[in-house]
A and B are shown apart, each in its own frame.
Chain A
Amino acid sequence: MTNDPQEQLRIEFNQWARAGKGESMEKGHRPVGTQAIERMRVPASARVLDVGCGSGWASRLLAGSAIKGRVTGIDISDEMIRIARESSMSFPHVDFETASAERLPFSDNEFTHAFSMESLYYYRDIPRALAEIHRVLKPGGVFVAVVDLYWENEATHQWIDTLNVPVELLSTDDYRRLFIDAGFTNIRDERLIDPTPIPENYTGSSFKSREDYEEYRRAGSLMISGER
């Protein structure tokens, strides 16, 4: 067992990759991720960074908009990145590499858009990751992040004890303040609702009961966006 937080995340998400969780995460996150990506209004020529891309489903979705641009996905889990790459062979303008959000391997002013789905609260140093994302965006560039685990969505707090890695439980105001401190402007927050019906006989592992699942859905996912 390592004490290095980054290595802990890598080991955990490599296990998720081997367990096929990339697919279930896509299924769970896609309905809200699609709404967030629509709000980004990604133009054809965009250069997009997908931070914490996992199996790469959002990178491929973004690539559908940035048809004359380029999408780069990074993740701390090399096994997730392998899956992302193998699943994206038909997208010549999408690249993936293993990297840390807190130390992005890109020059300043490289991207016009950045996206992050259900990833921010795993970082040990969120201010540093946000400063890095801000740094690699061009002036006027847009960052859109979505989190399901946040203070106002109480049903998601039960995940804190079931996850094998530490997470940051932050409120909407906390996130807004972090975005401001990282230098972002025009910060907006919005709740995105997943309209997918919940099965009557819910037996999933994410929530203790169907009621908790419903409560989570009512609160919605928190989308925060800012501009460089």
Chain B
Amino acid sequence: MPISEQLLEILVCPACRARVEMKSDGSGLKCAECKRVYPIRDDIPVMLIDEAKIEDEQPAGNN
């Protein structure tokens, strides 16, 4: 059973309280502001700051 839409609607980043969005591969929830990615394990979001990894997907050399 995947993560429910209703749960995704209410979850925010515990560090900065911005919205989180499901990554395209479904492996985690990414904060729109601080770029922390919270892992999803066995369909359960792990919303712990210590478990999150900061992922900046902006490609470098864009100037």
- Taken together as a complex, chains A and B put the C-alpha atoms of A6 and B49 apart, in Å, by 11
Q: Does B13 belong to the interface (CB within 8 Å)?
A: yes
User: CB within 8 Å of B: which of A70-114?
Assistant: 70, 72, 74, 76, 78, 81-82, 85, 89, 92-93, 95-100, 103-107, 110
* A49 shortest CB reach to chain B, Å: 10
Q: Does B53 belong to the interface (CB within 8 Å)?
A: no
User: CB within 8 Å of B: which of A93-149?
Assistant: 93, 95-100, 103-107, 110
What is the predominant secondary structure among interface residues of chain A facing chain B?
Answer: mixed
Known: A107-B12, A107-B17. A98 touches B46 (CB 8 A): yes
Q: Does B42 belong to the interface (CB within 8 Å)?
A: yes
Asked if residues B50 and A98 are in contact (CB atoms below 8 Å), the reply is: no
On chain A, the residues within 8 Å of B15 by CB distance are 103
* B53 shortest CB reach to chain A, Å: 15
B interface, size bucket: 20 to 34
Asked if residues A96 and B44 are in contact (CB atoms below 8 Å), the reply is: yes
- Taken together as a complex, chains A and B put the C-alpha atoms of A110 and B38 apart, in Å, by 20
Known: A7-B50, A72-B7. A100 touches B45 (CB 8 A): no
What is the predominant secondary structure among interface residues of chain B facing chain A?
Answer: mixed
On chain B, the residues within 8 Å of A97 by CB distance are 7, 11, 44-47
A interface, size bucket: 20 to 34
User: CB within 8 Å of A: which of B1-44?
Assistant: 1, 3-4, 6-7, 10-15, 17, 20, 38, 41-44
* Further contacts, 18 of them, CB under 8 A, given A97-B7, A97-B44, A100-B14: A6-B50, A72-B7, A74-B47, A85-B43, A92-B4, A95-B3, A95-B4, A97-B46, A98-B44, A98-B48, A99-B14, A103-B14, A105-B12, A105-B47, A106-B11, A107-B10, A107-B17, A110-B10
17 A-B contacts (beta carbon < 8 Å)? A4-B50, A6-B48, A7-B50, A72-B10, A85-B42, A89-B1, A96-B44, A97-B11, A97-B46, A97-B47, A98-B44, A98-B46, A99-B47, A103-B15, A103-B49, A105-B45, A106-B10
